[in-house]
A and B are shown apart, each in its own frame.
Chain A
């Protein structure tokens, strides 16, 4: 994974609540066997409307998206994160995220920043005209107007993002612990360790 530390640039002030994964990337884009090229389908239905924020010239190539509550609800499709990454987004700010989406975002080096609704409202206002900075190391979002909004991030995710760590590689370093757990399980809960139809 690509390392992430500070993200600075224009932010697309979408502001919508409950942006579901079918909005981020409709199902007909999911028939791919690759992670690339999904940016073309990102936010397809929103982009069909004239005057939508994605097509405002100031926001071309913006690295940040600002949205409303419950961003990324719906399906588990990681294609949502891939599509956003493909269109150049590396951070999303919203009052809340669906659990699966925030996991998918993080695994692709997209920072999902949760801020209170008033803070998000303020950023939506600033974003119309000015850039925003997200500093992961210090866990703070700032604007050119002295706004300073602290945010929380899971320490494990923070470390992975800052160092660009491969999570599977990290877990494989715990192989002994996994093997140990499996041995205990084979003893105590053997039916979980050996599903019947497999051994037949």
Chain B
């Protein structure tokens, strides 16, 4: 019955994973959904493992689970010249990391340790290892799990109780989401990147625009986009309020995945590709919500406020709170401007910055580092830029970048070249932006205090962050 009506990509993946429906096949009530891949990191897992232990429960499918530390780990050198592991200064971070290092093997889970060449941000590692596959259900105790939708997976963040639930049962009790399509046709202009596109989209739909929905990104812009770009777009679905975002898998995805360590091989690969090709929204399938965006309208985009919907094209100005129709948005804008230390009407390109962060699960893959390095090559950071760091998303990205000589471009430009991790994306490890200072950041959240108490974040693409580094202010990369 379900198969007879046209279905969206999301509905196809959902239906293929329903273990049990409480009240018959058409029920929209809570279902038991099977989870194919579970990624675990140090911050949201200790309480889950502890609860399992207390209840005398085991991990049902350790073979479908992969653990890797990223959030707390300092991005400075991890090994002394003699090869010994360097200690972690912050005792609480050290305790959390030690807990994962202990919990993973004791529950039989494969663990990528802090000094392994594959270590990195969990959302970079998953696709890179071929652990994240099209049509799979993927969860992690981190909201940016949405990123894995870039390979055509149904991927979403979960809380710690759900982490525990997945560990114990390999399932989740879930209610089906509504469906939303975001269609972007045309071509992105020169200097306009997937990050600009997703910031623009969030500006259009608002941070609540996708609440209760799973977004499918459709249209020629996504069909022509690299896997890296798709991961960037899907990553920030959560900033648009959606728990997940995904793009139908195609040959671009298949060639990206082929040969990766966890990806299928031989006959299994052929069978997989055959199934993956069926993962497309049927003609005539209906979305609960639909948004159409013209690619030609997207400019390099940066954030001015403390919500990811507070965005403006680089040629624009800081808005006046009165320009918003909604009174509560006016109040929020006033608070944002106060926190950000910005005056309405200031051209955004006049805003000086003191810090630059190139990294995070949104923009730390090889393509991102290449884009930033292209702008930085032969240039150096401006005198007023106090701190600039480039943090590769994984050890493998780092190695690739070094083979291409990108590390040299960054360091010549005055950047620090770091070990992989979440770094200055969130103020949990030593990489923080000081109070009152501004940061041009390629991460995904500009919340109050996100990069450190009092820190002021401007979200943008890697190329734009590089342009900010060399000019010392927010700058249009197309004019460099």
Contact = CB atoms under 8 A, between A and B. Distances in A.
Interface in B239-276: 241, 243, 261-265, 268-269, 271-272, 275
Contacts of B29: 154-156
Contacts of A56: none
Given A171-B171, A196-B261, A32 B92 contact: yes
A18 B332 contact: yes
B182 interface: no
A143 interface: no
Given A74-B143, A196-B262, A168 B131 contact: no
B447 A22 contact: yes
Given A18-B307, A168-B169, A74 B445 contact: yes
Nearest to B142: A76
Interface in A143-190: 154-157, 167-168, 170-172, 174-175, 177-178, 181-182, 185, 189-190
Nearest to B332: A17
Interface stretch (B205-213, B220-228, B282-290, B348-356): B205-213
Nearest to B339: A45
Given A70-B208, A96-B208, A31 B44 contact: no
A97 B57 CA distance: 32
B435 to A, nearest CB: 12
A28 B177 CA distance: 32
B334 to A, nearest CB: 12
B30 to A, nearest CB: 4
A154 B30 contact: yes
A171 B207 contact: no
B136 interface: yes
A195 interface: yes
B476 interface: no
A100 interface: yes
Interface in A14-65: 16-18, 20, 22-23, 26-28, 30-35, 45
Contacts of A182: 34, 170
A114 to B, nearest CB: 10
Nearest to B210: A99
A68 interface: yes
Given A154-B30, A167-B165, A197-B129, A26 B261 contact: no
Contacts, number: 200
Contacts of A190: 268, 271
Contacts of B46: 32-33
B337 interface: no
A73 B265 contact: no
B207 A70 contact: yes
Contacts of B19: 174, 177-178, 181
A8 interface: no
A174 B142 contact: no
B22 interface: yes
B163 to A, nearest CB: 8
A168 B238 CA distance: 26
A9 interface: no
A156 B22 contact: yes
Interface of B: 16, 19-20, 22, 29-30, 32, 34, 36-37, 43-44, 46-47, 50, 55, 57, 60, 63-64, 72, 90, 92-93, 95-96, 99, 110, 129-131, 133, 135-136, 141-143, 145, 156-162, 164-165, 168-171, 173, 175, 177, 207-208, 211-212, 238, 241, 243, 261-265, 268-269, 271-272, 275, 307, 328-329, 332, 426-428, 445, 447-450, 453
21 contacts: A17-B329, A18-B208, A26-B453, A27-B426, A28-B427, A30-B43, A30-B428, A33-B50, A34-B50, A35-B47, A68-B328, A75-B142, A78-B160, A154-B175, A168-B165, A174-B20, A177-B19, A182-B34, A190-B268, A191-B133, A196-B262
